[in-house]
Amino acid sequence: MKEHMKIWSLFALLALGLWSCKGSPGNKGPDTSKIEVKGETVAELTSPPFVPKPVGKREATKLKVSLEILELEGEMVDGVKYTYWTFGGSVPGQFIRTRVGDEVEFLLKNHPDNKLPHNIDLHAVTGPGGGAESSLVAPGHEVSFSFKCLNPGLYVYHCATAPVGMHIANGMYGLILVEPEGGLEPVDKEYYVMQGDFYTEGAYGDKGLQAFDMNKAIKEEADYVVFNGNVNALVNDNALQAKVGQKIRLFVGNGGPNLVSSFHVIGEIFDKVHVEGGDLINNNIQTTLIPAGGAAIVEFKVDVPGTLVMVDHSIFRAFNKGALGMIKVSGPENHKIYSGKIMEGIYLPEGGTIQKMPGKKKEEVIVAKTPEQSIADGKAIFSRTCLACHQSDGKGIKAVFPPLANSDYLNKSKDKAIEAVIHGLKGEIMVNGEKYNSVMPSQSLSDQEVADVLNYVYNSWGNNKTIIAPADVKKKRGS
């Protein structure tokens, strides 16, 4: 009898579980395929980082989308050219904004000057290939198909013509937003940011027109990992803009084709994240994972002025491969939230009687070195003190740390170079026609070491072969 009771109890629990699952939030709600459309509208399409105006409370409509495929030569970073394959002339492709229940009439055009056939797979589409099976189009032709927007969310679209990975790796991806009925909650600013990884025959920074490298792509050895198609797309003069007190919404996608993005904004916490662009919302998030072929909507209020830095927190991608962007926030300070630097002092972990104050350097014996010896010793000093920021080839990190290679800033004045090493450097400078505004700390080096490392720099990478003596450094310390 007891065994029978156990069995019936198990059946009852199972039935209760099945009944409760039917009404759970994870299951489909109303049948959105039956939403009636009213009227006809031509879709507003925008190139990144901008997005079309919100859908708001408009009713479902027949939405006409016209997108042109263009194969264009562009610049990956200064002096590095690349042939991008694009939806609408930009990487990522133009942003498409819809709402649940819209019937989208999609016209895909392949420009006559293009070399290859292409198609489009929209992850928002319920149907074979996400539209890819209906949209293969040769150069000089156009094709149309239609679909109904059934599920709200932020979705990737991309080319799915073989070899699929190559088409995506050349920039053929973008985002389509399907807003819920009634629209998204209003915010002050909305922007479009999409990560992609690129594979070139040359290494990072190699000049000239670079071809796609299939072997690197298969091995997932990206030369560039960037936001919005190139290293400079969202930095300095191209930075996103905001004001203190504004609520920001970023539509963030990851075209891949290979790498997952660890999306993070340095100096902010995401108040709200629509995980993978869907209904699930996380709050108070530092970094959100965005898979290749996925997206997320992140929202945050900016409370203090300054430059917020967007990165893929797989951090070498940010500072060495280009996955870095900026949001420049203007407005009044709020010292209750962030004080800025309050003080700067001397840290003496072994007690004040052992340590010496900066500026009182140890006595050193100057050895009479040949220029060749000084340069050789300077290379070792460079490797342990300078390489991380300025790189082994002296090219620095674009928009972050200035180049030492063929540097007009260094070659104009050895005194400025010496002062930068012994006193540090802060504030905006121009190097080879580019603005840099980072901080270089002073280096704890002797006069001989300063001379050696600068002799290595001046006699490398196309610089003017200046030779600095320890006496030159000593003189600048005293001035």
User: At which of 184, 208, 229 does a domain end?
Assistant: 184
Burial of 58 (0-12, 13-18, 19+ CB in 10 A): middle
| pLDDT at residue 258 greater than cutoff 80 | yes
Type of residue found at 266: I
CATH number of the domain that residue 314 is part of: 2.60.40.420
The reply to whether 411 and 378 lie within a common domain is yes
Q: Taking Cα atoms as reference points, which of 196, 252, 263, 261 lies closest to residue 224?
A: 196
Q: Flag whether pLDDT at 361 surpasses 60.
A: no
Asked if residue 352 belongs to a domain, the reply is: no
Residue 339 lies in a domain: no
Does residue 165 share a domain with residue 78? yes
Q: Do the Cβ atoms of 439 and 429 come closer than 8 Å?
A: no
**pLDDT attached to residue 27:** 53
Would residue 262 count as lying in a domain? Answer: yes
CATH number for the domain including 424?
A: 1.10.760.10
- The helix (H) or strand (E) run that includes residue 94 is none
Are residues 243 and 274 part of one domain? yes
For residue 273, give its domain range.
Answer: 191-330
What value does the mean pLDDT of the chain take? 89
| 151 and 271 part of one domain | no
Q: What is the DSSP code (8-state) at residue 223?
A: S
- Count of domains forming the chain: 3
User: pLDDT (tens digit, 9 = 90+) per residue, 33-50?
Assistant: 999 999 999 999 999 999
Strand bridging mode 425-426 / 281-285: unpaired
Residues 387 and 291 grouped into a single domain? no
Q: Are both 254 and 299 inside the same structural domain?
A: yes
Q: Which tens digit of pLDDT belongs to each residue from 187-217?
A: 999 999 999 999 999 999 899 999 999 999 9
Same-domain status, 160 and 299: no
Same domain, 389 and 250: no
Same domain, 319 and 383: no
Same domain, 380 and 277: no
Is 171 in the same domain as 198? no
417 in a structural domain: yes
Among 184, 206, 234, the domain boundary falls at: 184
Checking if the pLDDT of 387 tops 90, the result is no
Tokens of 352: 């004040």
pTM, full prediction: 0.74
Asked if the structure places residue 9 within a domain, the reply is no
**pLDDT at residue number 365:** 56
Residue 246 inside a domain? The answer is: yes
Which stretch of DSSP H or E encloses residue 76?
strand 62-77
Paired residues of 82 in beta bridges: 74, 210
Domain boundary residue, one of 140, 157, 184: 184
Match 């929209």 to its residue by tokens: 122
Tell me if 344 is assigned to some domain. no
When computed from its CA atoms, the radius of gyration of the chain, rounded to whole angstroms, is 28
Q: For the range 130-134, what are the long-range contacts, defined as Cβ-Cβ under 8 Å and sequence gap of 24 or more?
A: 130/157, 130/160, 131/106, 132/160, 132/161
Q: Between 383 and 223, where is the model more confident?
A: 223
Q: How many CB atoms lie within 10 A of CB 477?
A: 14
Q: Are residues 291 and 229 in the same domain?
A: yes
| Domain assignment of residue 359, yes or no | no
